């Protein structure tokens, strides 16, 4: 039951050689979610051998081109590949019109249902839920309406102690109830408190993504204590003024947010095209590490496992 | 004074690994023209080290995504790079609205003038002209309005014979007129016919591009005797029926057109994603060669020199 993130693009608006703009894949128990979809995302999926048809839910943080220009290409290719299954897109209002206009121009009638879920400006709340996870959106502070997203595993079932099962032989129905946290009364009428007959459930992992945002402590309640926070870091501190003008963050600011939100791990990316060299990225890490040790650097093709498959 | 073509993408609609969809660069005496602009074109320009700012004229053959989905990204990147010079786009009606809608969604106000030149359905005629070339559009036979383009160098000046200059010492004004084809009357009143005192001008090269089209002999008058014809060949003959259904051509059909139009060289590309292997491309060449010997195969990154720099 793995939980991993694979970076498809770690650049900000302008692509540079070997660094695509924003897109990444969240794999939760082999269910794949696509987050942002810059130009070239489908080529990156080919490069990193991720099957296009495995996506059913695509999330677009905001309507700057480096986060959505690749969506129309992916939608078109899925059509050409004969897709029949529904595809859901969660995005700010306006994207549906952009996609529809392009499909109309090419006289393409999609062979699969494409459903847009508009996320209103400043919305916070659950946008997707299934049996194992919830996905919540929350507002970021950028030049146009922008949302961050949190992926949370739902609480997992408790594990029953073997000696209890051996001694009291509960039936299947009781076992399921105990796993969900219920106490147990045995045949002699004795009460067994759940906490005494079970172990704590396995950890429920959580992941938060803050695509494009100025340093903003208002997001802390949303992302508090997540296992992994992917926070943009477009600039180094030498360009702090540029970052503020453009409502972006520096590596240090991302790390301060991570520290204040007590997250377990920080990943930074969305680097400006001005930082081209390996050495520049070392500086991102150094600046972030001084506020949040062991910050990870996004890199196209990198996979981070929050939880390994087992 | 070179004349060359550089392929940025040789695939049809669906990209495959190492093969981008349609785009290529025409370099005529170091003036660069971009023809079609599929998703990923800007990354291909980076890869093949062609400077984005050198383009002032972009031509879009038709509004299928594999020919234009990369335009919005390129337009946006030019803006981010601080472009000030005007950019002209020649395309079917509808593209301007698609680009405008996306710029509006991202609240981008371009810092340079962007001018669209709509090419009406079935139009044939000159769409661009400067001191050395003309670019002409002509209709192709495809599922939506589609145009081919012919790039023609204008007639070049004649070369004056050295012995004539030595003997009659014409002034600068007379020399310029003789180079343009005028006769000359010397001081004693003798007439020198231009053909006797000059050599034929250097060859004026021509290049034609037929992006997506069914086999169509109506295009022959437009492309007759061009130095290089780039004609789509989406399928091999085993899929002739698919080609006809989708209004595409096979390699053999492209070669028959080239033969009938008596072009000097044929280049084929726009291969379906079903043909992935090197061996498949050998089959394209074999099928084409049987109708037009020495057909060239388009390949991402390939440059074909019609005329070398000198």
Per residue in B258-309, pLDDT (tens digit) is 999 999 999 999 999 999 988 899 999 999 999 999 899 999 999 999 987 6
Q: Which of the residue ranges A70-74, A143-147, A207-211, A238-242 would you say has the lowest mean pLDDT?
A: A238-242
Give the C-alpha separation, A171 to B78, whole Å.
Answer: 69
Nearest CA in chain A to B274: A81
What is the arithmetic mean of pLDDT over A241-267? 96
| CB-based contact A232:A250 (threshold 8 Å) | no
CB pairs under 8 A between A and B: 97
Torsion angle defined by CA atoms of residues B168, B172, B175 and B180, in that order, rounded to the nearest 10 degrees: -160
A3-156+202-307, which class in CATH?
alpha beta
Exposure string of B86-105, with b = 16+ CB inside 10 Å and e = fewer, is ebbbbbbebbeebbeebbeb
Question: Quick one: pLDDT at residue B278?
Answer: 86
Question: Quick one: pLDDT at residue A307?
Answer: 81
Q: What is the domain partition of chain A in residue ranges? A: 3-156+202-307, 159-199
Average pLDDT score over chain A: 95
Q: Where does the pLDDT of residue A19 fall: very low under 50, low under 70, confident under 90, or very high at 90 and above?
A: very high
What is the arithmetic mean of pLDDT over A47-53? 95
Residues of B with CB under 8 A from a CB of A: 13-17, 20, 39-40, 42-43, 46-47, 63-66, 69-70, 72-73, 76-77, 80-81, 94-95, 97-98, 101-102, 105-108, 143-144
Nearest CA in chain A to B106: A64
What is the arithmetic mean of pLDDT over A266-292? 95
Question: Quick one: pLDDT at residue B309?
Answer: 60
Residues of A in contact with B42 (CB under 8 A): 15, 39
ipTM of the complex: 0.90
The answer to whether the CB atoms of A73 and B69 lie below 8 A apart is: yes
Q: Where does the pLDDT of residue A120 fall: very low under 50, low under 70, confident under 90, or very high at 90 and above?
A: very high
User: Which residues of B have a catalytic role annotated?
Assistant: 66
Question: Quick one: pLDDT at residue A256?
Answer: 98
The answer to whether the CB atoms of A16 and B46 lie below 8 A apart is: yes
Residues of B in contact with A102 (CB under 8 A): 65, 69, 98
Q: Where does the pLDDT of residue A13 fall: very low under 50, low under 70, confident under 90, or very high at 90 and above?
A: confident
Does the pLDDT value for residue A236 go beyond 90? Answer: yes
- Closest by Cα among A201, A200, A205 to A264: A205
Residue A210 has which token pair? 């803050």
Give the C-alpha separation, A58 to B266, whole Å.
Answer: 42
From A115's Cα to the closest Cα of chain B, the distance in A is 19
Residues of A with CB under 8 A from a CB of B: 13-17, 20, 39-40, 42-43, 46-47, 63-66, 69-70, 72-73, 76-77, 80-81, 94-95, 97-98, 101-102, 105-108, 143-144, 273
The answer to whether the CB atoms of B72 and A69 lie below 8 A apart is: yes
Give the C-alpha separation, B302 to B226, whole Å.
Answer: 20
Question: Which DSSP symbol is given to B129?
Answer: E
Give the C-alpha separation, A207 to A226, whole Å.
Answer: 6
Does the pLDDT value for residue A139 go beyond 70? Answer: yes
Question: Quick one: pLDDT at residue B310?
Answer: 53
Q: What is the CA angle A247-A250-A254, rounded to 5?
A: 100
- DSSP states of A95-161 as a string? HHHHHHHHHHHTT---SS-EEEEEE-TT--EEEEE-SSEEEEEEE--SSS--EEEEEEEPPPPPEEP
Residues of A in contact with B16 (CB under 8 A): 46
The 3-state secondary structure of A193-249, one letter per residue: CHHHHEECCCCCCEEEEECCCCCCHHHHHHHCCCCEEEEECCECHHHHHHHHHCCCC
Task: Identify which of A77, A80, A105 has the shortest CB distance to residue B94.
Answer: A105
What is the tally of helices (H) and strands (E) in chain A? 11, 18
| CB-based contact A134:A128 (threshold 8 Å) | yes
Q: Which of A8, A22, A73, A109 to mutate to test the interface with B (most CBs of B within 10 A)?
A: A73
What is the arithmetic mean of pLDDT over A106-130? 96
Question: Quick one: pLDDT at residue B35?
Answer: 98
Task: Identify which of B15, B46, B72 has the shortest CB distance to residue A42.
Answer: B15
Residues of chain B with pLDDT under 70: 1, 309-310
Q: Hey, CA dihedral for A269, A272, A273, A274, is it positive or negative?
A: negative
pTM of the model as a whole: 0.92
Q: Which of B73, B96, B121 to mutate to test the interface with A (most CBs of A within 10 A)?
A: B73
Classify the phi-psi angles of A219: left when phi > 0, otherwise alpha if psi is within -120 to 50, otherwise beta: alpha
From A295's Cα to the closest Cα of chain B, the distance in A is 29
């Amino acid at each position: 039951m793995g939980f991993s993130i694979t970076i498809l693009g770690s650049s900000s608006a302008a692509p540079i050689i070997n660094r695509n703009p924003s897109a990444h894949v969240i794999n939760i128990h082999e269910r794949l979610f696509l987050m942002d979809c810059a130009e070239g995302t489908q080529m990156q999926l080919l490069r990193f051998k991720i099957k296009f048809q495995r996506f059913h839910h695509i999330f677009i943080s905001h309507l700057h081109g480096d986060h959505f220009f690749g969506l129309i290409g992916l939608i078109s290719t899925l059509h050409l590949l004969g897709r029949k299954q529904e595809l859901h897109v969660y995005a700010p209002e306006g994207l549906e019109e952009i996609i529809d206009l392009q499909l109309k121009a090419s006289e393409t009638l999609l062979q699969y249902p494409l459903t847009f879920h508009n996320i209103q400006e400043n919305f916070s709340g659950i946008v997707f839920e299934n049996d194992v996870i919830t996905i919540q959106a929350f507002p970021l502070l950028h030049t146009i309406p922008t949302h961050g997203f949190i992926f949370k595993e739902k609480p997992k079932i408790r594990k029953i102690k073997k000696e209890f099962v051996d001694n009291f032989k509960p039936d299947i129905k009781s076992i399921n109830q105990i796993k969900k946290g219920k106490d147990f009364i045995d045949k002699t009428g004795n009460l067994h408190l759940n906490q005494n007959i079970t172990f704590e459930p396995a950890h429920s992992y959580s992941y938060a993504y803050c695509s494009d945002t100025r340093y903003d402590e208002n997001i802390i309640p949303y992302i508090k204590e997540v296992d992994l926070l992917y926070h943009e870091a477009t600039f180094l501190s030498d360009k702090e003024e540029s970052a503020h003008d453009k409502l972006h963050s520096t590596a240090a600011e991302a790390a301060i947010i991570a520290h204040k939100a007590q997250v377990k791990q920080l990943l930074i990316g969305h680097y400006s095209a001005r930082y081209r060299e390996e050495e520049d990225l070392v500086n991102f890490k150094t600046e972030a590490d001084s506020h949040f040790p062991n910050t990870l650097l996004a890199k196209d093709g990198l996979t981070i496992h929050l939880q390994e498959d087992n």
